[in-house]
Structure formats: C-alpha cells, structure tokens
Amino acid sequence: MLSKLNPPQREAAMYLDGPCLVLAGAGSGKTRVITSKIAYMVRECGMEARNIAAITFTNKAAREMEERVGKLLEGGQAKGLTVCTFHALGVRIVRQEAKLAGLKPQFSILDSSDVMQIVADVAGNKDKGVVKAVQWAISSWKNALITPDEAVKLVTDESTALAAKLYPAYEKTLRAYQAVDFDDLIALPVRLFDEHPEALERWQNRLRYLLIDEYQDTNGAQYKLLKQLAGVRGAFTAVGDDDQAIYAWRGADVKNLYALQTDYPKLKLIKLEQNYRSSNRILNAANTLIANNDKLFEKKLWSEHGMGEAIHIVAARDAEQEAEMVAMKISSHRFEHRANFADYAILYRGNHQARLFEQQLRNHKIPYVISGGQSFFDRAEIKDITSYLRLMLNADDDLAFIRSITTPRRGIGAATLEALGSYAGQRHIGLFTAAFEEGAGEHVASRQLESVREFCNFINKLEYRALREPAAQVLEDLLRAIGYEAHLFESCELREAESKWSNVRDFVEWLGKKGEADGKNLLELAQTVALISMLNKGDEATDAVQLATLHASKGLEFPHVFLVGVEEGMLPHQSSIDTDTIEEERRLMYVGVTRAQRSLTISYCERRKSGKEIRTVEPSRFIAELGDGLKHSGGKKAEPVSQEDALAKLAKLQAMFSTPPKT
DNA sequence: GCGTGACAGGATTCC
DNA sequence: CCTGTCACGC
C-alpha cells in the first residue's frame, strides 16, 4: 500500500503525530498521498473509517477520492468514511443541529441566482452592478465570519455602506424563507460550534482525523471550521499548493497556508516536488513562469521524464481561425500519433470561449465533452423541477414558490405575484401561506387568486403522496401534471429541448434509483439534492476531446493540451489587469501549463471582436515568461496555415492510414 | 393591464 | 448562454 510511494509521500502518509501540511506541487501525487494515508490509518493503525473525514472542494474530486480509497480498502473497511466537499459537510452539520441554528431541518439551500434576487428585492434596486456589488460584499463578510453588526464598522465606500445597510434585511429574508446561502453552509456551523461547545464535542468525537485537499483554496470561515473540528490536538493533514491558488475571487486566501505555521507551531511540513505527469520541458516552462510571483515557500518541480517535445506557440488571425486551427491540429495529430480524442484538452479562461471551439469541432466531426462549467443542478430544466421539490419540502421558500408557479406558465405573472407579495410582506408570512388567507383577496384579483390556490392545492396533494409513494412514481406524475415535456418542446429548439428533456429523464431515473437504494421518499431525497453530484455517468467511456475552463481543469491531466486565447485582456483577464491581481492570473496560466503530460500548444489571436469593432490584441505577457524552449509558428510570415493546405495534409494522412485508428 | 414569446447583444472564474 | 427590450394577444 505504501510501497508505491516515494520517500516524502510515504512520510506524509505515515505522519500522525500532529498537524501536517503537505506542499504538493502539480502532478506530485497528492491524491495518492491522501488515499494511501486513509488506507494506512484504517488498515495499519486500527482507526475506524467513520472517524475519518476527507474534505475536497469539488464534488468531482470527492467522487474520485472515494473511488480510489475504495480500491485500497477491502469490503466493509471503508464503511462510514466521510468524503465530501466543505459545503456538503456544512449541510450535514446544519441539518443535524438545525434546532441550534434556528432552522427547520428541511431548510432550503439557495444558489447564487436566488441570492441575487433576494438582494435585488431588499435593495429595491434591480441594477445588476449594484446588486452584484452588494452580494459580493455580504458574501465576503460571511466568508470572514463578520456579522451584520460588525459589518457596519467596516464600511469603506458607498457600495459597502449600502451592503452593510442591507445585510440585516438580507439575513432576515433568508430566515423567513427558512433558507441558507452557500456561505452560510460554512459560517453557520462555525457560529454554532462557538456557541454550543457540546455540539462541537459531538462532531469532534465523530470526525477524529481530517484530511483537507486543495487547502490553498480555503477561506477564513473554512479554516476556522477546520480549527474547531481538529481541536487542540490538531488532528489533520492539509494538502495544498500555493502556486495553484486560483479562487481568491470567491474568498479563498492563500495566507491560510502560511497561517498554519503560526497557528500550529508543531506543524510538520512536507514538500512533494517530484512530478509524475509532465515532460521536463513543460515543467521548466511552468517553473520559469511561476518564478515571477512572490512566494513564501520555494518549490521546484522536476521529473524523471525526458525533455520531451517543444512547446508550440501559435498565432491565429482571429478567434474563428484559432478554433479551426486547433480542430485541424487535433485531427491530424490524432492520425499521426494514433491517439484517442480523449487524449486532447482545450483549455480557456472563460466559458463563452468554448462556443467557437464547439462549432469547429462539430464541423470536423470531432467528438467533445465540456467538463465543469455549470453543474448539473444549475441547469434551468433541473432547477425547474427541484423548485417543486423545494416548495413541497419548505412552504416558506418563496423563491421556489415563484419559480414553480411560473414554470411552466399557468397564467400567473409578475403583477399577480407582486400583489400577493405585498400582502404577504405586510403579514410577515410566506406567499404560500398568504394565498389561503382571506385578506389576500383585497390585493389579488379573484380570478388570479383562484389559480394561485389551485396551484397550492396541487403542491399539497403532491407532498402528501411524496411521503407515501415511491419517489420515481411521484416525480413522473409531477412531470405529467405540469406538462413539462410539452413545455420544453414548445419553448426551445428541437435539439435543445431533446437534450433538456433527457437531462430531466436522467434526473428522475437517478433520483428514483437513489430512493430505492437508500429507502428514502422523494422529500427526504430532495433535502440532499442541492449538493450531490450525479455527474459522470459515463464520460470516461466516451472517447472525446475535453473542453474546460482553466478553473475546471485543476486536478485533471491530459497527454496533449491546447491553451487557447492566451492574450492580454483574456489571460490575464482585463479586470485582473485593472485591479492589479496579475499573480492569480499567472497561477491560472500555471495550472493550465501543468495539465499537460506530453505536448503543450499555446495559441493567441492577433485580432478579436469586441462589441462591433475588431481590435488588435497583444499576446499574453505570460508567453514571454515561459522562458526558452518555445517554438513559434503561425501568424502571417511563418508556416502558412491556410485551410486548403491543412485539409490537403489531412487527406493525405487519412489515405495513408487505410485502417481507422484504434480507439 | 397583464402575460408571453421573439430577438439581439454582451460574457471571468464556481461550491 | 442569459438578460433586457419590444410587440402582440387576451
């Protein structure tokens, strides 16, 4: 179990005498260390799996880790092991301790669009810029565990002043809805543990050893939660890489990495610098690039692999040509090297960049999948369905009420809801409750009120059945009753509707199976749905080029990587240039570069559309920072990349390989 | 007055 | 892809 580890990895896996920080460079086998350590604790040290928790930042990472631990442990050994995201752990704590947190156990979890809506409501202002600024300020305060009272003292400018003024009203609204936002999932447990030591003790007893992945991405609240749970013994291992800290914008603070040393003077520091992923050419470029950042921990990646291929830098005329070129390069490279489509990844800064590449890949008949991006549960069609579940579970959830009563349309619109809302507001009750009160008739026209009540009765009946009948059956009936399939096909293009409907089918099937497996009814399932991942039914089974944002690519690796749109203004992003946060952008570039195993192609456009005008853009400063060992091509002078030439070359190659490449 | 669908234009990054 | 605006029908 430990024999496959190198000396520092083994040391990290076996060290249990106190708090431990593993500085794990990209591709240095950190997941292997965490999973081996869990196996070591269970198999060699007699610890019970149920007393160990491994915390990750993404569901994907949690799933992967669970899978890999499963392989190292036998039969029932892994039973009760906690492998989840910080937020999922938070949900568990708040749900179990709901009473202490002043919530009912069926509280709703709001996503960012719900939150924006509430902020807009309490602000009485729909201006997106204002709403975003307020939401951001409140979120940062929550991430730093700052209460509304304290926030007032921290006002720095107009926008934070407004945020501080609205913060109490925002919190009040959440409580009225019996709802929490994402930040609450961390902040509430922390406050709860502060105020109720006996609850903290319960959880310390349950989770006696913690392993934290991607520690550089923790925010203040998460770090505090870790400190609380780990207690004075400091029973934890944190694994992280300060060079891959790319989430400062959502409250993460690399300083938490350094703070460990002062907060735990006995902290054991272990560095993993041997890379098992990339060629030395790629590692050298990555090292050279990241040396431009100020750092506290020095780290230099090396590997036993050879130098490998040169890194290609390619200039494209514009974004269309860039996408076309990448598609062609993948096509021909795949023939030449008899590789799989899945060996290629296209990485970019922003989601919207994917579109052109999708188009071109389709043109070239290259299969692709977009990983990351929106989570399954953020998709409109899934949110439509879950809003019904949320409402059944929690009649105070006005946002779920509004979404479900208006999707599909049933003749109730903004005006009716506003009228009902103003009455509910006066009475300090939820919309659902308000609809059944006599007084509502004074605000809402009787015809509209009738349809609102009809809707509420429908929900009540459904809830009654949801408690008694199998989940899948109730869901099927719900979909039929609201005519959701027809709604999709009426409101979307055929292809889009088909894909959405198939997502809904997947969702129903998954929930039904889960209900049977866990013996839970629909409402019990709905409670956990918001944070569970059901992705990856078979994405590894299909051979397809991977498209991902740089953020979503963290933790992944690919034989051949195309890093696209590497221009000033894109990477580094313009807003980061404006706010002087270039270092994080450089780390983003670093993450991209270190995803590559064998070949790396970096491309940029010479011109890019922005609005109506076409502007000339500069290649990113980061390209120059990669050092030498780069091979420039493309552009006007070097190597013509006309479509005809490339297609001719491709045709020739295809003729040479009369047999299709192995898959 | 209210509810709905069509269309264009602008887009950081995500639990 | 999501939002804001506009025109249309009840």
Strand C, nucleotides covered by protein (CB < 7 Å): 1-4
The H or E element that residue A447 is part of is helix A446-466
Pair of tokens at residue A202? 């319960």
pLDDT at A532: 60
- The beta-strand segments (E) located in A8-112 are 20-24, 52-56, 82-85, 108-109
What lies within 8 Å, CB to CB, of A661 at 6+ separation is A334, A335, A338, A339
**Would you state the pLDDT for residue A603?**
94
Q: What is the DSSP letter of A570?
A: B
- As a whole-number percent, the residues of chain A with pLDDT over 70 amount to 91
Residue A209 CA, chain-centre distance (Å), reads 25
A134 CA – C10 C1', rounded, Å: 39
Which residues, 6 or more positions from A24, have their beta carbon under 8 angstroms from its beta carbon?
A30, A33, A239, A240, A241, A272
Helical ranges in A301-379 per DSSP H: 319-337, 354-363
Q: Does residue A613 carry a pLDDT above 90?
A: no
Say if residue A32's pLDDT is above 60. Answer: yes
Q: Is the CB of A380 under 7 A from strand C?
A: yes
Smallest Cα–C1' distance to nucleotide C1: which residue has it?
A: A352
A481-526 pLDDT, tens digit per residue, is: 888 888 777 766 666 677 778 778 888 888 888 788 778 888 887 7
A595 in active site: yes
The pair of three-digit structure tokens given for residue A341, joined into one six-digit string: 């489509």
* Strand C-contacting residues in A 328-357, CB cut-off 7 angstroms: 355
In terms of DSSP bridges, do strands A607-610 and A613-616 run parallel, antiparallel, or are they unpaired? antiparallel
- Per-residue pLDDT at A404: 85
Q: Is A244 a catalytic residue?
A: yes
Give this prediction's pTM.
0.83
A588 CA vs B9 C1’ separation (Å) = 29
Which one of the listed residues A281, A595, A598, A608 is annotated catalytic?
Answer: A595
Catalytic member of A10, A30, A299, A334: A30
Strands of the sheet with A52-56, listed across from one edge: A82-85, A52-56, A209-212, A236-240, A20-24, A268-272
SS3 A253: coil
3-state DSSP helix/strand/coil % of chain A, to nearest 5: 55, 15, 30
According to the model, what pLDDT value does residue A640 have? 38
pLDDT tens-place string over residues A99-121: 998 888 888 888 777 788 788 77
Tens of pLDDT, residues A264-300: 999 999 999 999 999 999 999 999 999 999 887 888 8
3-class state of residue A338 by DSSP: coil
A409 touches strand C (CB under 7 A): no
> Considering only CA atoms, which of A479, A552, A470 is closest in space to residue A515?
A470
A559 membership: H or E segment, kind and range = strand A558-563
Closest residue, CA to C1' of B6:
A491
Give me the catalytic one of A244, A360, A546, A549. Answer: A244
- A160 to A135, A580, A622: CA distances (angstroms): 10, 20, 34
The enclosing H or E element of A614 equals strand A613-616
- Examine the residue annotation and report whether A454 is marked as an active-site residue of this protein: no
Catalytic residue list contains A213: yes
Q: Omega before A572 cis (within 30°)? A: yes
Catalytic residue among A97, A214, A583, A606: A214
A409 is catalytic: no
**Cβ neighbourhood burial of A332 (10 Å; 0-12, 13-18, 19+):** middle
Give CA–CA dist A563/A285, Å, rounded: 14
Q: How many CB atoms lie within 10 A of CB A156?
A: 9
Report pLDDT for A641. 41
Pairing of strands A545-549, A596-605: unpaired
- Dihedral sign from CA coordinates of A486, A492, A494, A497: negative
Query: Closest residue to B12 by CA to C1' distance?
Result: A350
Contacting residues 92-151/A vs strand C (CB within 7 A): 113, 126, 128
Q: What is the greatest pairwise CA distance in chain A?
A: 81
b/e code A277-294 from CB counts within 10 Å (16+ = b): bbbbbbbbbbbebbeeee
Identify the burial level of A256 via C-beta atoms within 10 angstroms of its C-beta, where 0-12 means exposed, 13-18 middle and 19 or more buried. buried
Considering A1-5, A193-197, A605-609, the range whose residues carry the highest mean pLDDT is A193-197
